[in-house]
Structure 1
Amino acid sequence: MTYRLLALNIMGAFSQNKGRVSKATKEAIEYAHKKKVSILLFSEREHAFVKRIAKALHSESHLVAHNGAYVISSQNKPMYIQRISEDDTFDLIQFLESFDCQITVENESFSVSNKGKLPATLVKRTIWQRTQKFLYSQYFVDSLGEHLLEERISPLSIQATFHNSEERDEALQALANMFEHINFISRDQNKIEMTATGVSKWNSIVYVAEQLGISRSEIVVIGISEDDEEAVQQAGTGIAMGNADPKVKEVADWVTRTNKEEGIAYVVKELLRHQHKHAIEEMNKVD
């Protein structure tokens, strides 16, 4: 088996030690680069966060953020952007604000949230998160609906966090019937994440692979979150972290070690070591 694209959920890169990327993971990514394997880092998180992890890994990688709605090349240039329309965003926020929930509207350069029941110390200030050549701001308003009347936004993703699962499920059922051009993902912590229809981590991974001339059989995906299930199942080789969601483990070809046990470092070196051995065997056959 030849591996040419390694796609990994960045949450698997943390050593679980204060959220830091371990030295072993950095070395594994460097090892993959030396083996001429393209790297893709993906996440449901915003672009600024994904880019910060790429910087920590010292990796020139393709980046997939906002659940697949925003794709950046290894040269730091946008490749694919899929937004929720301004009209759908406005109607969606109007509906969500009928619930007592925390809502965040996210773009590649900023996010805006309703204050809800967040601590006053948090909403009184603007939060700046710096990455290399990138500035990401997060700010709060009393009413997102009123804010959108003044400033129309076509976001990459929207998140809503409810106080209990019953409210989340009630909202989710209604939303799915109301909006045909929006994709809804239900998560733990009573959260719903929303992107434009057709957006997914796997679709973005395939898009990058096609641009690089890489077939699906040459794609390795390392997943951890519940919505990584599709990507792990559809990839040429699907790998689940040892602490991945059970659904991801069920469809994986291989379950590696946990974050704490350096699962990425272990599986990357094992894969590429076998690949190197396979290449030698093929060369010997030709001789």
Structure 2
Amino acid sequence: MKYTLLALDLDGTLFSSDMSILPRTKKVILDAIRDGLTVTLATGRSFTFAKEVAKELAIEAPLITHDGALVAAQLDHPLSMHKLSNSTVQKIIKILLAYPLRFELQHDPLSIVNYKRPLVDPMKSDSYKMLEYLGTRYVSNRDIVSYLQTSKLEPHKVSVSADTEQTLEEVKEALLAHLSDEIRITNAGFGVEIVPKNISKAYGLKVLSAALGISPSEIIAIGDNYNDLEMFQFAGLSIAMANAPQEVKNRAKYVTRSNDEDGIAFAIQTFFYGDEIMKEARGLGS
């Protein structure tokens, strides 16, 4: 099968553990783009953040950001854009405030957070950690509801993290009990992601592939977390990173090396170039 589109998750997939792109992985991606492979990013992060990553890799295709809520090559000309209404966000926040949580209202170019990030020394931090720091504004729990009422903010997504899994489960139950007709919740990393109803990375990939005239069977999707699973189902070839949770690996067709071992480079060389070098890749599923 000839694959023409590659969708890459960022954290835990394209990024190594120190939030950088390994030199070999970068070279293989640049070579593959030069040789005709269309590459996009499919991430829960903001468009503003993802666009900087795309520049480093010479990616020109529209990007799938905010877990599929925004698909765009340029922010002012999106292929698809969905937001949580201001009234829905206020309902979400009023529920979240009943728990000890950290949350982020993801919006471009600036996201709102209810926790103070540690100060970042620009001389000691790489560009992506600095970009992450500069892309947020702190608003306290005490002021967040009035801020929303005044600003009329309509974010693409709300990211939530907690110190315990039990707290997250209680939060999910409370949110779905009141807002199941308005939101979709997915797990990612150590938290949950709240997006508009029916939105996912798979939705974003569907929008992008239709715009490019590419069949799902021509798509490779590589990821490492639960919010990648719908994308795995949509793409012709799904590949999980070795550092992914076991359930995610079980639901991918193949498993490549970890994000600290050039897993993306090995996958591209095997399935785009046909080098048969990813001998540790094991078939999973049909």
Alignment TM class, shorter chain as reference = 0.7 to 0.9
Q: Is the 8 A contact 2:47 2:75 kept in 1?
A: no
Q: How does 1:172-251 map to 2 (within 5 A)?
A: 172-179=172-179, 180-189=181-190, 191-251=191-251
Q: Residues 246-266 of structure 1: CA distance to partner in whole angstroms, max 9, x if unpaired?
A: 122112222111122211111
Q: Could you tell me how far 1:120 is from its partner in structure 2? A: 8.4
* Residue matched to 1:14: 15
Greater displacement, 55-64 / 168-177: 55-64
* Residue matched to 1:254: 254
Q: Is the 8 A contact 2:7 2:222 kept in 1?
A: yes
* Residue matched to 1:278: none
Q: Could you tell me how far 1:36 is from its partner in structure 2? A: 1.6
Q: Could you tell me how far 1:163 is from its partner in structure 2? A: 3.5
Identity of aligned residues (%): 27
Q: Is the 8 A contact 1:114 1:143 kept in 2?
A: no
Q: Residues 36-67 of structure 1: CA distance to partner in whole angstroms, max 9, x if unpaired?
A: 22111111112222122212223323211111
Q: Which residue type is aligned with residue 159 of structure 2?
A: Q
Specify every segment of 5 or more residues in structure 2 that has no aligned partner in the other structure, as ranges.
121-128, 276-286
Say what the alpha-carbon RMSD is for the aligned residues. 2.5
**SS of residue paired to 2:227:** helix
Give the whole-Å Cα distance in 2 for the aligned partners of 1:129 and 1:63.
21
Q: Which residue type is aligned with residue 184 of structure 2?
A: N
* Residue matched to 1:31: 31
Q: Is the 8 A contact 1:21 1:56 kept in 2?
A: no
Q: Is the 8 A contact 1:129 1:137 kept in 2?
A: no
Q: Residues 16-36 of structure 1: CA distance to partner in whole angstroms, max 9, x if unpaired?
A: 3x3221221122112221232
Asked which structure has the greater CA Rg, the reply is 1
Q: Which residue type is aligned with residue 15 of structure 2?
A: F
Give the whole-Å Cα distance in 2 for the aligned partners of 1:272 and 1:165.
38
Distance 1:76 1:254, change over 3 A: farther
* Residue matched to 2:274: 274
Q: How does 1:106-125 map to 2 (within 5 A)?
A: 106-115=106-115, 118=116
Q: Could you tell me how far 1:136 is from its partner in structure 2? A: 3.7
Q: Residues 232-285 of structure 1: CA distance to partner in whole angstroms, max 9, x if unpaired?
A: 23311111112122122112222111122211111102212229xxxxxxxxxx
Q: Could you tell me how far 1:75 is from its partner in structure 2? A: 9.8
* Residue matched to 2:101: 101
Distance 1:27 1:76, change over 3 A: farther
* Residue matched to 1:89: 89
Q: Is the 8 A contact 1:10 1:53 kept in 2?
A: no
Distance 1:162 1:153, change over 3 A: same
Q: Could you tell me how far 1:158 is from its partner in structure 2? A: 0.8
* Residue matched to 1:279: none
* Residue matched to 2:157: 157
Distance 1:103 1:20, change over 3 A: closer
Q: Which residue type is aligned with residue 232 of structure 2?
A: V
Give the whole-Å Cα distance in 1 for the aligned partners of 2:257 and 2:205.
23
Q: Could you tell me how far 1:7 is from its partner in structure 2? A: 0.7
Q: Which residue type is aligned with residue 139 of structure 1?
A: Y
Give the whole-Å Cα distance in 1 for the aligned partners of 2:196 and 2:33.
32
Give the whole-Å Cα distance in 2 for the aligned partners of 1:45 and 1:53.
11
Q: Is the 8 A contact 2:70 2:156 kept in 1?
A: yes
Give the whole-Å Cα distance in 2 for the aligned partners of 1:74 and 1:112.
22
Distance 1:152 1:250, change over 3 A: same
Give the whole-Å Cα distance in 1 for the aligned partners of 2:6 and 2:173.
35
**SS of residue paired to 1:98:** coil
Q: Is the 8 A contact 1:39 1:62 kept in 2?
A: no
Greater displacement, 56-65 / 31-40: 56-65
Distance 1:54 1:249, change over 3 A: same
**SS of residue paired to 2:36:** coil
Give the whole-Å Cα distance in 2 for the aligned partners of 1:214 and 1:85.
32
**SS of residue paired to 1:183:** strand
Q: Is the 8 A contact 1:183 1:197 kept in 2?
A: yes
Q: TM-score when scaled to structure 1? A: 0.83
Give the whole-Å Cα distance in 1 for the aligned partners of 2:260 and 2:19.
11
**SS of residue paired to 1:248:** helix
Q: Could you tell me how far 1:99 is from its partner in structure 2? A: 2.1
Q: Which has the larger share of strand?
A: 1
